[in-house]
Amino acid sequence: MKLHREGTSILIGCLVLFTIITVALAHYMPTYGIVLALPFWILFGFIIWFFRNPIRETDSSDNCIIAPVDGKVVVLEEVYESEFLKEKCIQLSIFMTPLNVHVTRYPVNGKVIFSKYHPGKFLVAFHPKSSELNERTTVVVETPDQTKVLFRQIAGAVARRIVNYAKDNDDAIAGKEYGFIKFGSRVDIFLPLDTKIDVKIGDITKGGIQKIGELK
């Protein structure tokens, strides 16, 4: 299983710490020390699982919209996007639990024309205002036919760090990694009003594989 690079320092730190704790417990409590240390190694196994980075092959055309993350569709509505697009859009939001793969992937092909980090709060990720108030990143990709698609990584009450690798003028390839969110949150995508949407609220998405819509 491939692990994401964002987990390297955390995994090494936990390995060293849990090893020290285990040795200390075994030394001072020979009878029950190993049993008492077991929860730490179960936690370590979960952290390894969290930072998994499965290799996924994307099959899409320039008009396809690919799910950027694994999760559940929690918002699908018409909104006004005020940061960059300055127009009414379809907002499609996918919520992730700590059990989901947290690699974030480009939803469309094109060129990155905007990338910005916003400090903010840590409301629960499904809160209606989290898209505007929480710590987040905003990325805009212009597709080959000059359609602009905006998407955001949003930190949640548990997620305290979002990583965005996208930079202006980068080539965006649908399904390819552009960031990572640590320990739960959501991704919002803002699409033109005439976009054909292939998912509904409550649907489970598979990042980098599943087609969730098509641009006109």
Evaluate whether 105 touches 165 at the Cβ level (below 8 Å): no
Is 115 designated active site? no
> Would you report the helix, strand and coil content of the chain in percent, each value rounded to 5?
20, 40, 40
Q: Report how far apart the first and last C-alpha atoms of the chain are (Å, whole number).
A: 38
- CA atoms 64, 176, 2, 199: torsion sign: negative
Smallest Cα–Cα separation from 153: which of 171, 179, 128?
A: 179
DSSP state letters, 166-182: --TTPEE-TTSEEEEEE
- Choosing from 60, 93, 130, 185, the catalytic residue is 185
Q: Is 145 exposed, middle or buried (0-12, 13-18, 19+ CB in 10 A)?
A: exposed
Active site residues: 185
